[in-house]
Structure 1
Amino acid sequence: MTELPPEVARLLEATNTEDRAAFLDAFTDDGAVDDWGRRFAGRDRIAEWDAGENIGVHSRIEATSVRRTGDTVEFGVQVSGDGYNGGGTFTAELRDGKVALLQIRG
Structure 2
Amino acid sequence: MTAPALPSPIDAFVAAVNRGDAETARAFFGRDGVVDDWGTRYVGAAAITQWSAREFVGAKGRLTPTRVGRDGERIVVDTGWTSSFYSGDSRFVFTVDGQRIREMRIVGH
The TM tier, using the shorter chain, reads over 0.9
Structure 1 segments, 4+ long, off by >4 Å, are none
Query: How far off is 1:10 after superposition?
Result: 1.4
TM-score normalised by L of structure 1: 0.92
Match for residue 59 of structure 2? 57
The number of residue pairs the alignment matches comes to 106
Match for residue 10 of structure 2? 8
Q: Distance in 2 between matches of 1:102 and 1:51?
A: 16
SS in 2 for 1:6: coil
Matching residue's letter, 2:93: T
Q: Structure 1: where are the runs of 5+ without partners?
A: none
Match for residue 77 of structure 2? 75
**RMSD over equivalenced CA pairs, Å:** 1.4
Question: In the alignment, is the contact (CA less than 8 A) between 1:36 and 1:103 conserved in 2?
Answer: yes
Question: In the alignment, is the contact (CA less than 8 A) between 1:28 and 1:95 conserved in 2?
Answer: no
Question: In the alignment, is the contact (CA less than 8 A) between 2:67 and 2:79 conserved in 1?
Answer: yes
Match for residue 96 of structure 1? 98
Query: How far off is 1:100 after superposition?
Result: 0.3
Query: How far off is 1:94 after superposition?
Result: 0.5
Name the % identity.
28
Question: In the alignment, is the contact (CA less than 8 A) between 1:2 and 1:67 conserved in 2?
Answer: no
TM-score normalised by L of structure 2: 0.90
Q: Structure 2: where are the runs of 5+ without partners?
A: none
Question: In the alignment, is the contact (CA less than 8 A) between 1:32 and 1:40 conserved in 2?
Answer: yes
